[in-house]
Amino acid sequence: MPNRREFLTATAFFPSIFYRRRPRYAGIEFQVLRHGKSRRRYLLIHGNERTAHAVLTAHMKTHKGIAHLVTGQARNIPVGNLVFDPNRIWSRAGAEKNIRALNRNATDDQRETLLQILDKWRAIMVAAVIPPKGGLLVALHNNSQGYSVEDEVSISDQTSLKNRANPHEFMLATDPADFAILAQSDFNVVLQQKAPPTDDGSLSRLAALQGVRYVNIEAGLGNTAKQQAMLDWLEQRLPQ
Ligand SMILES: [Zn+2]
């Protein structure tokens, strides 16, 4: 325990509005940025998505809420000799598929051990990142070649594709009221209020199942300006 003098020195060093700590869940270490009091929550779950990391870190200096940012810089998290994708662990079925796909040479026992670790941590991680009732969770992701809004159209409940020429930049919302507001922007937006039939273990699917207000802001890796613009637009228009 620090004595009072050390505590005062530490808090003078780090302004009280900007409190940090580094929890570790299932081998995933997070940096936690807290700024003021708000129901807003933010998440950077893929460490290799450096544009999203930079956009969120800068955003938290001027906006209130709590952000969790993965500290590693790789997409997948190692546990022993195995790896897993931290955005495919939010259901057991999704985690099982992902672990199988990423660890072809592992034994059933090894995969089961990792699944049990994730089972143990799942509820704790959900409690850490999900906002208080009625609050909004904003996740930031970057994509490179391949994945785009076009992959989400067929499994979405509604779409507003005003910038189809730039399909890598889009927002995915789980709440119809948030979608209705976001659809007034010039950005691509999709609504997934009902969880897509295939359980991929993603956080967006869990948010849809639990009725949590969630928006994923996707931008091409390197497209800082567009990701920042989407986040700013959302911040100004969506209710707390
Ligand atoms: Zn991602």
- Helices 224-237 + 50-59 axis angle, to 10: 40
pLDDT at 41 over 90: yes
**Between the CA of residue 73 and those of 46, 82, 141, what are the distances in Å?**
8, 17, 13
Q: How confident is the model at residue 19 (pLDDT cuts 50, 70, 90)?
A: low
Report how far ligand 1's centroid is from the alpha carbon of 234 (Å): 19
Whole-prediction pTM value?
A: 0.91
In this predicted model, what pLDDT tens digit does every residue of 189-237 receive, in sequence order?
999 999 989 999 999 999 999 999 999 999 999 999 999 999 999 999 9
Type of residue found at 21 = R
Q: Encoding tokens for residue 51?
A: 């544009």
Q: Please say whether the beta carbons of 139 and 174 come within 8 A.
A: no
Q: Which residue has the tokens 């979405």?
A: 156
Neighbours of ion ligand 1 (CB under 5 A): 46, 141
Q: How far does the centroid of ligand 1 lie from the alpha carbon of residue 1, in Å?
A: 38
Task: Tell me, in angstroms, the distance from the centre of ligand 1 to residue 85's CA.
Answer: 9
Structure tokens at 110: 């090894």
Spacing, Cα 47 to ligand 1 middle (Å) = 8
- C-alpha 16/C-alpha 34 separation (Å) is 9
CATH T-level topology, domain 15-237 = Aminopeptidase (3.40.630)
- Please tell me the distance between residue 46's alpha carbon and the centre of ligand 1 in angstroms: 5
Tell me how far apart the alpha carbons of residues 22 and 70 are, in angstroms, rounded to a whole number.
9
Q: What is the domain partition of the chain in residue ranges?
A: 15-237
Between the CA of 60 and the centroid of ligand 1 the distance, in Å, is: 19
Q: Tell me the CA–centroid distance for residue 44 and ligand 1, in Å.
A: 8
If you measure from the C-alpha of residue 217 to the centroid of ligand 1, how many angstroms do you get, rounded to a whole number? 10
The two three-digit tokens of residue 41, written as one number: 């929550």
Q: How far apart are CA 119 and CA 113, in angstroms?
A: 10
pLDDT tens digits, one per residue of 156-196: 999 999 999 999 999 999 999 999 999 999 999 999 999 98
